[in-house]
Amino acid sequence: MPKHLQREIENLKKMVLSLGARVESSVRDAIRSLVERDGELARRVIEEDFEIDHAEVLVEEECLKILALHQPVAIDLRFIVAVLKINNDLERVGDLAVNIAERSVFLSNQPPVDIDFDFAGMANQARRMLKRSLDALVNLSVDDAHQVCADDDDIDAMNRQMYLRVREAIRDNPDRIESLIHLLSASRHLERIADHATNIAEDVIYMIEGEIVRHKTEDYK
């Protein structure tokens, strides 16, 4: 690999990992704001989203610049294609963190809702999947990437359980329907974060092995 290309790819890796760290922090704070009913923290997540959007644009511009100047091939090309896709997923995860924070702002001003569901457990599972997908990228670990893909079913099951719990709670507490719908929406956003973590993991597998594993869910069961 030419030295110029190697240097620019290393810089690109640092940029996408920095974006990943920002997104992880945003998700963590959004979840904490919801669990702890901290409206001020939620508002900070919303206000700081522009930093994630700006970083995502810079990563995309860097990818396009490398493609235009160096015309990379083989694994270098796969790396840049994967980063372009991962970059988009990370920006979407940032948006979902904002969506959770918006639910948190509303709920922080309402009486607490008592619902038989381990929301914190679901949130931690989604966060672990996001972290592991980024670890897979850092360490070029196919094993970590496959584990993220395998864990996605657990989050889907939790989201279905949340739906059932909210449906029961609405029947028993019709006066709290708005708060309950906000909680269900937050659960759905967590499920979507897990989906994006899975997308990142699949792109890492593609980058390392050159194999497109989307839709091959039977491999993870």
3-state helix, strand, coil in the chain (%, to 5): 85, 0, 15
| 17, 20, 24, 30: CA torsion to nearest 10 | 150
Q: H or E stretch including 165? A: helix 142-172
* Distance linking the first and last C-alpha atoms of the chain: 38
Tally: H helices and E strands in the chain: 7, 0
Superfamily of domain 3-220: Phosphate transport system protein phou homolog 2; domain 2 (1.20.58.220)
Q: Which residue has the higher pLDDT, 209 or 62?
A: 62
The band of 155, judged by pLDDT with boundaries at 50, 70 and 90, is: very high
Question: What are the extents of the domains in the chain?
Answer: 3-220
On whether the pTM is more than 0.85, the answer is yes
* DSSP category for residue 79: H
In this predicted structure, the answer to whether residue 216 has a pLDDT above a threshold of 60 is yes
The band of 214, judged by pLDDT with boundaries at 50, 70 and 90, is: confident
The band of 63, judged by pLDDT with boundaries at 50, 70 and 90, is: very high
Question: Residue 219 has what pLDDT?
Answer: 52
- Asked if 55 contacts 81 with a C-beta cutoff of 8 angstroms, the reply is no
